[in-house]
Amino acid sequence: MSEKPIILAELEIAQQKALALLAEIQDEEPLQAWKREYLGKSSTVMSAFSSIGQQSKEFRPLVGQVANQVKQALEAALEERARIVTEAALTRKITDERVDVTLPGRQPITGGLHPQTLVLRRIFSIFAEMGFQVYRSRDVESDEHNFELLNIPAHHPARDMWDTFHIDQPGVVLRTHTSPGQIRVMREQAPNPIRAILPGMCYRYEQISSRSEIQFNQVEVLAVGKNITFGDMKGTLNGFVRRLFNADVRTRLRPSYFPFTEPSAEMDVECFVCAGKGCSVCKGSGWLEIMGCGIVHPAVLKNGGYDPEVYSGFAAGMGPERISMLLHKIEDIRYFWGNDARFLEQF
């Protein structure tokens, strides 16, 4: 009888070693390496199979049988280990990626309303309480509406106050003020009474500074009817200012000049920062200028289709950017349209 083939001992050692190592494996990658090492082409088990032909006849069946047992044992152990590794990986994933429902939520980034939208809405609601409707008028105007029909003929020196942008088409301008809307409302409504406010962007060829921009909003106020007086104007504008700033702010009217009103005035409010004592906001005067106003000029009423012998009216024009600047102590008008989120987020 020949000696037991050495491969049988080798198989036993390989099996022990392989099983011991397998028991330590925690991850998919070393598992694959293990498989290559102990069940791959050059593993002891596989070489045992290919060695069968060289074994003595007597031991061939035994070598084959043992190699098979070892192979099956290793495959079974691998399968079991693979199940454990996959399960462990899943458990780890679940704990690592667990949603902690007790964490505070993340604030979504939301936009806000522009400070000008906010102040315009305040102005609209105050005038709405007094029965005024918002009337939209056009940004691109005819020279005729912007100037002529408002009693500002060509070459009138008052035009210097409203230097503007012209477009290619002669006689068409970007409106310099919302006043041309007065003519449009009147022509639409005559001879009915009017209580309207006309908001919108205006454009001027200006030296840009902390007080002036080439683009800004205005809100025009217009009331037309029978027996409308300077007193009505004063009462309405005072009512507006008190709702906007505070209930007992003082106001004053200073004589002024506008070609489309007669008489014309400028309305000031008592500086609410220093209560009229004089400070940097009111430049020491104790007063803040907030709008131009006056009794609609008979020529303008006529241009709007109202008989100035029968009808009268008052008008006013204010700059909402300036009003925002006063309300929030903003020192530079250019912030409004500069698109800087750090400024805009504050409202």
Nearer to ligand DAH (CB atom), residue 278 or residue 305: 305
Nearest-CB residue for ligand DAH: 317
Query: Quick one: CA dihedral 314, 320, 326, 332, positive or negative?
Result: negative
As beta bridge partners, residue 63 has: none
Q: How near is the Cβ of 150 to ligand DAH at its closest, in Å? A: 8
Nearer to ligand DAH (CB atom), residue 25 or residue 315: 315
For the chain, the helix, strand and coil percentages under 3-state DSSP, each to the nearest 5: 45, 20, 35
As a whole number of angstroms, the distance between CA 33 and CA 35 comes to: 5
Nearer to ligand DAH (CB atom), residue 115 or residue 292: 292
Nearer to ligand DAH (CB atom), residue 7 or residue 296: 296
Residue with tokens 């604030």: 107
Q: How near is the Cβ of 182 to ligand DAH at its closest, in Å? A: 7
Nearer to ligand DAH (CB atom), residue 47 or residue 215: 215
Nearest to 89 by CA among 34, 19, 25: 25
Nearer to ligand DAH (CB atom), residue 317 or residue 320: 317
Q: How near is the Cβ of 340 to ligand DAH at its closest, in Å? A: 27
Contacts for 84-93: CB closer than 8 Å, 24+ residues apart: 85/25, 85/26, 85/27, 85/28, 85/31, 86/28, 88/26, 89/27, 89/28
Q: How near is the Cβ of 207 to ligand DAH at its closest, in Å? A: 16
Beta-carbon contacts of 332 under 8 Å, excluding residues fewer than 6 positions away, are 210
Q: How near is the Cβ of 110 to ligand DAH at its closest, in Å? A: 35
Q: Which residues of 195-215 are buried (b: 16+ CB within 10 A; e: fewer)?
A: bbbbbbebbbeeeeeeeebeb
Q: How near is the Cβ of 179 to ligand DAH at its closest, in Å? A: 4
Q: List interacting residues with ligand DAH (CB under 6 A).
A: 177, 179, 220, 258, 261, 292-294, 315-317
Nearer to ligand DAH (CB atom), residue 200 or residue 292: 292
Q: Let me know the angle formed at the C-alpha of 115 by 279 and 332, rounded to the nearest 5 degrees.
A: 40
Nearest to 315 by CA among 268, 259, 261, 269: 261
Q: How near is the Cβ of 169 to ligand DAH at its closest, in Å? A: 23
